[in-house]
Amino acid sequence: MDMKEQFDKRLEEIVNQKSGNNVIYSRAAYDKIVNDLLRIKTKGTSSAEERKLIRKRKNDEIRQIATLEDMFSIVRDAHSRIGHGGERKTFLEIQKKWANVTLEICKIYIGFFSSSIMSRGQVDLINYQTLPDGKFNYVMTYVDHFSKFCVLRPLTSESSAEVAHNLLDVFLLIGAPSILQSENGRGFVNSLIAELRCLWPETNFINGRPRHPHSQGEVERLNGVIKEKLAIWMRDNDSDRWSLGLKFIQWQINISVDATTKQSPYLLMFGQEPRVGIDADLMPKLLLLSAPIMEEDLHCDDDGSCE
């Protein structure tokens, strides 16, 4: 069950618990209210229930009503816009447009979001022995299942010790998952966990289920994307140093919108869109400078934004 399915299930439970005293409508109930309003507009109200549908104060700000089916995407998008802030900030952002998305709903979403990010990671290897780059013969891929954020590293061998040392760098940068899995099987993961515990005794991992049909398909697709992009990078740069190209391929994958999440892995992982140095709008002005650009030449804020 993915995060949206868990969220929708919990929301349905709340709707059922509150019975008639709730502000969450299914698509069918929403459509009925819209049809009633259209009829009231032309024929007027015929019951006390219908009179409740009429806005009493004409100067009230008009906001939209969200359906049960739309709640997840509304909260997800608002949470993303504010850089994955807390439940209250998310709620205030949503209230600008939506009238019936409550603080309780925001709490439910953020609870699932917090438990999903970095909960499951997958490590696999791509064999490049037929196209070695100096001492490098393998590519290590590490993917966070929720955000789809990936890390690529060149390896000299497929030994668990070398893989674990590279994973340690990743985990100390972005955090370690609760569940670690691999298409290489549980024996391989057991070896990795043992190596990681020697390097970082505080860590504890669950050995995840390997070769799940869904994850296996994702691994195969990612491997295909990596190989294709690496081939293009080597051709365009007239270079066989794929170990260098991996850094750029990792960047390209992480800033691209994922088909499943509808957002970039970078945004989901770090809560902001990626930046590439100086704002492009400043470049024409800066190109006029022949000397290296100094911070004093610009009006820069503490957050790194310059004019």
Cα atoms in the 13 Å half-sphere on the side-chain side of 11: 28
Ramachandran region, residue 293 (left: φ > 0; alpha: ψ -120 to 50; beta: rest): beta
What's the confidence (pLDDT) of residue 105? Answer: 92
What's the confidence (pLDDT) of residue 46? Answer: 66
Other beta carbons within 10 Å of 224 = 10
Domain definitions of the chain by residue range: 3-116, 120-270, 276-307
For the sheet containing 120-127, what is the strand order?
A: 150-155, 138-144, 120-127, 179-181, 206-207
Q: Is the pLDDT assigned to residue 240 strictly greater than 80?
A: yes
The predicted-structure confidence for 40-67, as pLDDT tens digits, reads as follows 777 766 665 555 555 555 656 777 888 8
Give the whole-angstrom CA distance, residue 240 versus residue 125. 19
Q: Is the pLDDT assigned to residue 278 strictly greater than 70?
A: no
* Residue in 2, 222, 234, 225 with CA at minimum distance from that of residue 124: 222
DSSP for 169-227, please give it. HHHHHH---SEEE-TT-HHHHHHHHHHHHHH-TT---EEPPP--HHHHHHHHHHHHHHH
In three-state secondary structure terms, 157 is coil
What's the confidence (pLDDT) of residue 59? Answer: 59
Tokens 């945004």 sit on residue: 267
Q: Is the pLDDT assigned to residue 137 strictly greater than 90?
A: yes
In Å, how far from its chain's centre is CA 233?
26
Cα atoms in the 13 Å half-sphere on the side-chain side of 226: 28
For the domain 120-270, what is the CATH superfamily, name and number? Ribonuclease H-like superfamily/Ribonuclease H (3.30.420.10)
Q: Is the pLDDT assigned to residue 34 strictly greater than 80?
A: no
Other beta carbons within 10 Å of 32 = 12
Tokens of 291: 């000397």
